A and B are shown apart, each in its own frame.
Chain A
Amino acid sequence: MNNKAFIYSKIVISCLFYLAIPLFYYLFYRYHLLAFEEYQMFTFDAPALWQAVSYPGGISDYFGTFLTSFFHFPAGGPLILGTLFFLCGICISYLLKKTQPHGCFFAPPLLTALLMTMLHFNLIVKLSSSSMFFITLLFSCIYVSIKPNLYRRICGAILLAAAYWIGIVSSLILLSVIVTWEWFTCHDRHKYSAIGCYLSIAIILPLIARIITIDYHPLTLSGAYLGHIFTYEKQVLYSRFLKIWSSPAVYMIFLFMLYKWRNSKKNQVPNNKFVFSMIMLQLCMLFITGYSVIKRYEAYKNDELFMKADYLVKTEKWDELIEFAHKELPASNLSSPYINLALASTEKLSQNITLYRNNTPDMMLVPFMQDYLTAKILCEILYQLGDIANAQHMAYESLVSTPGGRNVYMTQRLAQCALILEDYLVAEKYLKRLTYTPVYHTWASSYLEMIKHPDSLKEVEWIAAKRKLLPKRNEILGFDNIVSVCIPLINAQPQNKLAFEYMATSFLITKDINNFYKLYHSFRPQIRPEHVPELHQQALLVYMNANRIGPENYGSVPISQKTQQHFEKFSNKVLQYQKAKKEPNDANFKREFGQTYWYYYMNQKQ
């Protein structure tokens, strides 16, 4: 095979591949990455930096968190991940080139990138693990690039210690590369003692870390000891270490062994047959891994739909969320409260009670499961409703429950809640933290300045709007059901459209037409007197009919002639069915009245 052609093909394939990764993330996994940004709180200040360097693993965590904070932007995550994988790929290529200069192996960096892509499908995996991997690869490259044995070995020892402090597991990755390199390339008499020294350093490092950090850093206890990792995170470690982190050493060993087996000398150009078989082998491996990535992605596809709903709620794009729900209804039950929120925000919820999976009041609120996700969903709903005390509660629960206890989005939400509730000391604390973040800095600084003159906050639109919705009287609150949440809100502010929508929907769904009528009578005229949705008119007619109120007494209840005639038709049909001793739920009846509240009232089981 033409060497040049091979090199060019290798470059083209690699370029296409590394462009495809960010594109894939952007097209199919963007909302996961946007959500991922929330679960960190990178602050660029001396205490945070000092804390990061003060314990093993802190630096990679800090670096990873820094990069993650740019996931806030839709293209940020894909670009950062793509770049990181590309840089890892370059390092692996360099290591392999050093191992076998005339190798025809183009797949290992790509395989690693694919495996890393797969790894980052899981939101639990922090970016620190990939940044740590990159730093370690960089160290490995530095190590193998030094030719004199003595200097290389001294440098190796220093790098090993640095790698441990930067990323803990990094030292294992680097150790595997160093031992492989020493084993296969060195032939001097100090080879075995050097390997022994490296192993000793790897064992001693955690012990030194213990002495240095045991008394002041609790994270050390979960991070400094490999023993702890093996005890508590062995599943994660095994999967990540065996699949990805050990790969540089594995590739190197493979190459060393292969060329040894072929009995070829270093720098000998391999023959075409060998090259061809190796290329085919690599293509097969790439294909299999790529297929695994796609299969793995399938498992996260539904989550991505939920994440999209979550993002649209976060950005208050209600119409877009409704449209999205029409096209691709997320399978996750957790999406329903979001879709209902979008519908309620656009005053469409109570008119569409038979749509989506919102046919129980449970779908309007999720039960709080003491985790960050349900707490976040509840926080979003309660915040939109104007129940700021409960929203603050849930924001705090979400913040506390987030792994690592840092959540930049919830910190912002807490600052917002405190500003609305005029709790300025607390708001100041959160805002000060946010001023040290790269993304929220401007937002936080502006409000930090305004806090000095609290009257200026009254002019801020969103604060004024939320303050208007606050309950006037203190009550013991829970959020077991949507009605109990909404009652104090609608009593405090009868124009709270969202509270009305949720309450009306809940009453309609549970067929509580007496309460629906009361609610309607008390609050609807204050919200939008000129328009009464068709479904509401139908429900009101059910109430009128049940309470034997004739059309002459409809009074202020605006029911159109058309609806009244439609209802008459419905009543007559029902009577016909009753005379015939049949249930009024056959296909014809459903076709004609299936979309009416009367049909729902008659046939929907509770």
Chain B
Amino acid sequence: MRCIAFTGFLGSGKTTVILRTAQALGKHRERVAIIENERGAIGVDGPYLEAQGLGVREISDTCICCDLQSSLGHTVRLIDSLYHPSWLLLEPSGVAHPDELANTIEDDPMPGTDWCIVAVIDAVRFSHLWKDVAGLGYLLRWQIERAQLVLLTKTDAIPADHVDVILASLLAVRPELKIVPITKDEDAGMAIIEALAEVKAC
């Protein structure tokens, strides 16, 4: 089972990325399951994805990377045994630390799973966050550090030369990093699964 964890800040576009990825995989007749981890008892992302016809299991009111580490392994094994998906898409909450999430995955080996961490980075807010070196910018750098792939979202909302500046900033941190600029268009899903095919697992 190919498991993809999409890290990123609150509002970075993780849910849209997951929707597009699931839709593209569905066109290839792949079985896809989604785990949503939202803070609070009432969520929006899970119900929205379900309304688009996708199967979603929610882990609510906790953080999978630090509060209940065993929940992730348990949920993954449960989903595998019940639905036998070929792909599992995981949306951690926007407060999850990418390094702690990676450690959670590494510390709880799940047989038959092949994990990949994808950082979802919002092009519109990038400059604002990148400058905050001691705050959210610090976490942004960790997202880049622990990712096998970066999806740069909302690139249609900024000028093309700004996209080039962001790409240069990201590659300055990790020159070998694969970065795919995307928009919310439906064909973004195909670009995402093509990129996932090129990157190695964790």
Please determine whether chains A and B interact with each other in the same assembly: no
Which residues from chain A sit less than 8 Å from chain B, CB to CB? Answer: none
